[in-house]
Amino acid sequence: MNSTARKSRSKPPASRGRPVGDREARRAELLDAAMSVIAQEGFAEASLRKVAERAGCTTGAVTYYFANREEMMAAVIESQFDVFDAMLRAGESDGRIDVRAGLKRWLDWLSSDEKGEWVANFQLLSLARHEPALAAVYKRRYAAYRDVFAAMIARGQRQGTIRRDIPAELLADQISAMGDGWMMLFPIEPERFQPNRVKALLDATMALIAPRTGWQ
């Protein structure tokens, strides 16, 4: 990715004639600002003006990088999936599959979430229903994620670390849905996701997908 540091945190007098060439980086900055507003105040409150203010500029800058609000929101979603993808791939360490570690990293990220990013994601997902452009993004990227996850499960089954009586595709769907469900309730009841309970949930989930060894 871009490593050329976009200088100075808040606002370098916001001169109009910026150095040219870092268009992508500047776009990402605006997306961060948008994400921040959505996370803190919700999608409905994320007006172009507010996003611009958070980014330290005016709507003129925002509309220069995005044709309209919908396009901006779609770009926000794409960028969030990029983050999620990276996390998922990090869980897939060469050869050995470790579903528990992956789930834990994900749950930890979820329950820390200082910036409230996933909350924003959740809201965007719910709104996609009535914004076809957003729905299209979700459909495409969710399908990709599901394929990867199902492949992980299948590998676990071949290695004998995951029960084989349920097809990998269905099992992946179940676990994935469980995660989504937790995500869904987290903003309402964050206190139910304390570390010890997260551990209990993880252990229980591992028990669910453990091979049926008939030990009991």
Shortest Cβ 191–DNA spacing (Å): 29
Query: Interface residues for a copy of itself in 23-42 (CB under 8 A)?
Result: 41-42
Shortest Cβ 194–a copy of itself spacing (Å): 13
From the list 95, 109, 115, the residue with the least C-alpha distance to 161 is 95
14: tokens are: 């916001």
Do the Cβ atoms of 32 and 57 come closer than 8 Å? Answer: no
C-beta of 127 vs 202, nearer to DNA: 127
Do the Cβ atoms of 122 and 179 come closer than 8 Å? Answer: no
Give the span between the Cα atoms of 154 and 169, in whole angstroms: 8
Query: Interface residues for a copy of itself in 112-131 (CB under 8 A)?
Result: 119, 122-123, 125-130
Shortest Cβ 23–DNA spacing (Å): 4
C-beta of 69 vs 105, nearer to a copy of itself: 69
Shortest Cβ 66–DNA spacing (Å): 8
User: Counting contacts by CB under 8 A, is residue 165 touching a copy of itself?
Assistant: yes
Under DSSP, is residue 164 helix (H, G, I), strand (E, B) or coil?
Answer: coil
Give the span between the Cα atoms of 103 and 80, in whole angstroms: 18
- The piece of 2-10, 63-71, 148-156, 178-186 that touches a copy of itself (CB under 8 A) is 178-186
C-beta of 33 vs 57, nearer to a copy of itself: 33
Helix axes of 69-90 and 23-41: crossing angle, nearest 10 degrees: 90
The alpha helices in 132-167, defined as continuous H runs, are: 132-158
From the list a copy of itself, DNA, none, pick the one residue 4 interacts with, judged by a Cβ distance below 5 to 8 Å according to partner type.
none
